[in-house]
Amino acid sequence: MTAELLNHRKTRTTALVIAGSVGLLYFFTAARDIVVGDSPELIMVAVKLGVAHAPGYPLFTMLGHLFSLLPLGSVPFRLNLFASACDALAVAFVYLTALRLCRSQPAAILAALVLATNSLFWSWSLAAEVFPLNNLLASVLIYLLVRWHEKPEQTAPFIAAAFVAGLGLTNHQTIILLAPACLYLLWRNRTVLLAQPRILFIGAAAFALALSPYAYVPWASAQ
């Protein structure tokens, strides 16, 4: 499979079809009301623009609030759909990443669908929680890093990856577990980075900017 095919419209269309199909599956199986766990708290916080338990989950709260405004079903169902949408998109990015790594479209589609229908992954896609958003941000981060590693002279994927990594930390800190892989890729491509040190500074600035949702926490607490 050539690099041209990887960027072909058909590939993007397939990713959209996968996201739409999985999203439809999750839509019909999503919880229609609150469920046990942190879900009731997270729903209330998103609706009222409050502050959840530490570390506050500001990104989830703000994006969840937008979903709470949808004119569709009950408020808990709207927030549950937020989780479903995040994991459906995460599956699509897993497909795109697998396609770049294995160069086989059937294998990439199979990998994405196996993840989507895994019982544990599926069940966590049906109720309002911070994990689906974490899955989405982690899958986007890995996809961007793979793209950058293929062509390290292209700086846009690197800067975008730095921004997504920062956003990930404003949702769930377990995304830090990807740090060893990130550092490895930085080391592998150190020649390119040292030749253009401004890329590192821009990436650091993008990462810092992505942490700005944490400013929401003291603001909301003061209300």
pLDDT in tens, 15-27: 999 999 999 999 9
Q: How far is CA 2 from the centre of its chain?
A: 27
- In whole angstroms, how far apart are CA 68 and each of 43, 45, 79, 83, 221? 8, 11, 6, 12, 20
Average pLDDT over residues 132-159: 95
Percentage of residues in the chain with pLDDT exceeding 70? 97
**Res 210 pLDDT > 80:** yes
pLDDT at 124: 93
Average pLDDT over residues 96-123: 95
pLDDT in tens, 33-76: 888 888 999 999 999 999 999 899 999 999 999 999 999 989 99
Top pLDDT among 140 and 4 is at: 140
Q: Are 177 and 150 a contacting pair, CB within 8 Å?
A: no
For residue 69, count CB atoms less than 10 angstroms from its CB and return exposed for 0-12, middle for 13-18, buried for 19 or more: exposed
Report DSSP letters for 173-185, one per residue: GGGGGGHHHHHHH
pLDDT at 37: 82
Q: CA–CA separation, 95 vs 111, rounded Å?
A: 7
- In whole angstroms, how far apart are CA 181 and each of 121, 130, 186, 192? 23, 23, 9, 17
**Res 202 pLDDT > 90:** yes
